[in-house]
Amino acid sequence: MKTLVMGNEIVKMFGHGDERQTVLKNVSVQIEKGEYVAVMGPSGSGKSTLLFALGGMEAIDGGTVYFNGQNLSQLSEDELSKLRQTGMGFVFQQPTLLKNLDILDNILLPALRGSHKNVAALTKKAEMLMRKMGIEELKGRSITEVSGGQLQRAGICRALLMTPEIIFCDEPTGALNSKSANETMKLFSQINEEGVALLIVTHDAKVAANAQRVLFMRDGSIVDELRLSKTGHSIEENIKRVAQRLEYLEI
């Protein structure tokens, strides 16, 4: 397997003076191409900060992050934003979509930003993704006229539009009811089977059980790791294994 993302000894601090806090304490993490990794840990342990650091959205105070062998801190702002736009997708708990645009235009917007793009080809691809995610008939609707689960699917279409190598997801099911959360997890598994790597921050053992590997964080460090094999283990068994590890780690 080839390494896609490599974080070495990442240090991240927030605040000034007496308030200065080290949120990531020499964290090293490697994600292979096509790998599905979940990150769990107590609130405030640094999960989102790690995801932002690996995705080049948050500057780091120490260590290095490589994406496909490129050191993110050696890229210019323009190079970094191009890399984020083409190589990475982002899905958050609440997709930040604009009320005055319909669903299709919201999906297209980030891809159209910046340089000149082939609008017709991107629209065709967006429509194909919407069909795949089961929301094609909603393309002309305002974001206020769809459910939370449908909105999250639109967010996933947006993240997939530029054919990223990885999608960074921060609590993607956190705002969804259990039915929508299950459907979203199935979509992520399907996306991963098509070769896209995933890094998912979650509090939910059911979500983490879909990954190949779960990283456990506490107080700014990765304190444990669990490898989950799909062969020989049902999803229920993997949920149990994640839950047992959380209990053991007192998370």
Ligand X SMILES: Nc1ncnc2c1ncn2[C@@H]1O[C@H](COP(=O)(O)OP(=O)(O)OP(=O)(O)O)[C@@H](O)[C@H]1O
Q: Is 222 exposed, middle or buried (0-12, 13-18, 19+ CB in 10 A)?
A: buried
- Decide: is 43 part of the binding site for ligand X (CB under 6 A): yes
- Decide: is 48 part of the binding site for ligand X (CB under 6 A): yes
4, 31, 40, 41: which one contacts ligand X (CB under 6 A)?
41
| Residue among 54 and 161 whose Cβ is closer to ligand X | 54
- Distances in Å between the Cα of 161 and the Cα atoms of 124, 126, 247 are 10, 6, 38
CB 218, min distance to ligand X, A = 9
5, 34, 45, 211: which one contacts ligand X (CB under 6 A)?
45
- Decide: is 94 part of the binding site for ligand X (CB under 6 A): no
- Decide: is 248 part of the binding site for ligand X (CB under 6 A): no
- Decide: is 214 part of the binding site for ligand X (CB under 6 A): no
CB 64, min distance to ligand X, A = 19
| Residue among 157 and 226 whose Cβ is closer to ligand X | 226
- Decide: is 158 part of the binding site for ligand X (CB under 6 A): no
- Decide: is 49 part of the binding site for ligand X (CB under 6 A): yes
CB 246, min distance to ligand X, A = 13
- Decide: is 44 part of the binding site for ligand X (CB under 6 A): yes
Q: Mind spelling out the 3-state secondary structure of the chain?
A: CCEEEEEEEEEEEECCHHHCEEEEEEEEEEEECCCEEEEECCCCCCHHHHHHHHCCCCCCCEEEEEECCEEHHHCCHHHHHHHHHHHEEEEECCCCCCCCCEHHHHHHHHHHCCCCCCHHHHHHHHHHHHHHCCCHHHCCCEHHHCCHHHHHHHHHHHHHCCCCCEEEEECCCCCCCHHHHHHHHHHHHHHHHCCCEEEEECCCHHHHCCCCEEEEEECCEEEEEEECCCCCCCHHHHHHHHHHHHHHCCC
Instruction: Kindly indicate which of the ranges 42-50, 127-135, 159-167, 185-193 contains the residues binding ligand X, using the contact rule CB under 6 A.
Output: 42-50
| Residue among 112 and 251 whose Cβ is closer to ligand X | 251
- Decide: is 206 part of the binding site for ligand X (CB under 6 A): no
| Residue among 29 and 161 whose Cβ is closer to ligand X | 29
- Decide: is 202 part of the binding site for ligand X (CB under 6 A): no
Please give the residue ranges that form the binding site for ligand X (CB under 6 A).
14-15, 23, 41, 43-49
